[in-house]
Structure 1
Amino acid sequence: MRILISNDDGYLAPGINALADALAAIAEIVVVAPDSNRSGASNSLTLDRPLSVTKAANGFYFCNGTPTDCVHIALTGMSDSPPDLVVSGINNGQNMGDDTLYSGTVAAATEAYLFGLPAIAFSQVNAGWAHVDSAARVARDIVQRYLDGGLAMLPTPFLLNVNIPNLPYEQIGPLTPTRLGRRHQSEPVIRAQDPRGREIFWIGAVGACRDAGEGTDFHATSQGQVSLTPLQIDLTHKTQLDLLARGLA
């Protein structure tokens, strides 16, 4: 089994190091990750400049691009054969509800999915890396379940978004299938001035949960459970196709 690992927090982040250590025990791994934090990069590709890939002392490869760049380069420029699985993370904080649209962690997995490969994005619910080794053990459990055929009911490829509570391994609840919750709109931007008196803006905080009921990723993780949400990429609003056709007739 060959696994490609990436993230959006950068190749030096504790999350990707813990994940690589955990998965190296059960598979052959290759790590290609950004050279620095690219949180919130979503599915962006770098098209205005060339990119470089460098091998670090620990054997990881780092790229001066986005998470999507890293996976794209790894799949199309660094190997003659694709990996069996692509994993992303472990992210420093949750990627649940509407946040998944902005997440570089989820985007790295999405790029693999678009190439027809099974992919899993892993995140911890709270930022700060508390119990990251426990999260890595959970990630390994899920990957091992895939290797053992326990996810065979899912189509190939699949795209899973996994959020893991920051708890000791023994206190983490069961693996729970969930749907994405919803948030209220984000808080307004924060206005400030730079040292030269120019107006600048900081993106505001995320909105509060609007739909965190039973069955959502928000609800499961609040109960100490591991949330697994299968994602899809088709953005077509199918129920509006007939309405649009009638409006254009």
Structure 2
Amino acid sequence: MRILVTNDDGYHAPGLAVLEEIARQFSDDIWVCAPSEEQSGAGHSLTLSQPVRLQKFAERRFAVTGTPTDSVMMALREVLDDPPDLILSGVNRGANLGDDITYSGTVSAAIEGALAGIRSIAMSQVYGPAANGLSDTFSAAREWGPKVIGPLLDAPFAERTLVNVNFPPRPASEVKGIRVVRQGFHDYSRGSIVEGRDPRGLRYFWFGLHAIEHTLDHGTDLEAIDEGSIAVTPLQLDLTHHATIDTLAQRFEG
């Protein structure tokens, strides 16, 4: 089985090494192609206004001067002679829960894989007070990652779907299990923008420095993580609100 490993934290991120370690429990045919620098929050963006460069570090190890989407596209079109059987993205340093997935470069790399018809899984290690003081902040992901991936290798994936996995911020021994849940939603009305000034006195703004409140609706990824479980969420790329089609179409009839 050929596995492509990527992320949005960058080629040198420790989470990428953890993910490669996990991947090697399933195959020796591992390829790494990741952004050369951190691309957190890049979403499903492409680099269109400047050239993208591909750097080879070693056999089957590449970095791309672009986004996670760029990295997957370059891997599939320029690096690999045959497509991979599986794309793993992560392990992200931080959560990709609820509607944060729309910003996530980690999830977007898996989206690009799904668009190419390849089984794709995004993986993120949530951080929080329970993880403070851990010698291995990726403890939960490192130990439980193979237990999550294994059952997904031969599970049926519908066309244009992927799986988003989040590990709770606690030691592996304290994880309460794996739960398949739906996507939750944050309360972005309480999000923050912090203003500052640079050494020249010019204003700048920094997004997302404070925690965003959310409602722990039953059966969501937010609830699962809050209760110490691993959240496994199947995602679809069809954003159409099908229930509205007929109602909206009536507005334009006659």
What TM-score results when the alignment is normalised by the length of structure 2?
Answer: 0.90
Moved over 3 A (4+): 127-131
Distance 1:13-1:109 versus aligned 2 partners, 3 A rule: same
Between the aligned partners of 1:167 and 1:100, the Cα distance in structure 2 is 22
Q: Percent identity?
A: 39
**Which of these residues, 221, 244, 249, is aligned with residue 245 of structure 1?**
249
Between the aligned partners of 1:25 and 1:65, the Cα distance in structure 2 is 29
Q: How does 1:106-117 map to 2 (within 5 A)?
A: 106-117=107-118
Query: Is the 1:118–1:156 Cα contact (8 Å) retained in structure 2?
Result: no
Matched, 1:135 2:141: yes
Name the counterpart of 1:122: 123
Alpha-carbon shift at residue 157 of structure 1 (Å): 5.5
RMSD: 1.9
Query: Is the 1:11–1:34 Cα contact (8 Å) retained in structure 2?
Result: yes
Between the aligned partners of 1:56 and 1:166, the Cα distance in structure 2 is 32
Q: Which secondary structure state, in structure 1, belongs to the residue aligned with residue 75 of structure 2?
A: helix
Name the counterpart of 2:212: 207
Query: Is the 1:135–1:166 Cα contact (8 Å) retained in structure 2?
Result: no
Of residues 80-89 and 51-60 in structure 1, the stretch that sits farther from structure 2 once superposed is 51-60
Between the aligned partners of 1:59 and 1:73, the Cα distance in structure 2 is 13
Alpha-carbon shift at residue 156 of structure 1 (Å): 5.1
Between the aligned partners of 2:33 and 2:53, the Cα distance in structure 1 is 11
Alpha-carbon shift at residue 59 of structure 1 (Å): 5.4
Q: Which secondary structure state, in structure 2, belongs to the residue aligned with residue 209 of structure 1?
A: coil
Q: Which sections of structure 2, spanning at least 5 residues, go unmatched? A: none
Give the paired residue count.
Answer: 245
- Per-residue CA deviations over 1:21-50 (Å, capped at 9, x if unaligned) read 221132121010011111000000001111
Query: Is the 1:178–1:217 Cα contact (8 Å) retained in structure 2?
Result: yes
Alpha-carbon shift at residue 19 of structure 1 (Å): 1.1
Distance 1:52-1:219 versus aligned 2 partners, 3 A rule: same
Between the aligned partners of 2:228 and 2:191, the Cα distance in structure 1 is 27
Of residues 170-179 and 112-121 in structure 1, the stretch that sits farther from structure 2 once superposed is 170-179
Matched, 1:230 2:234: yes
Between the aligned partners of 2:223 and 2:38, the Cα distance in structure 1 is 28
Alpha-carbon shift at residue 207 of structure 1 (Å): 2.6
Matched, 1:168 2:171: yes
Q: How does 1:1-249 map to 2 (within 5 A)?
A: 1-27=1-27, 28-56=29-57, 60-126=61-127, 130-147=136-153, 149=154, 151-152=155-156, 154-155=157-158, 158-185=161-188, 186-204=190-208, 205=210, 207-210=212-215, 212-249=216-253
Alpha-carbon shift at residue 133 of structure 1 (Å): 4.2
What TM-score results when the alignment is normalised by the length of structure 1?
Answer: 0.91
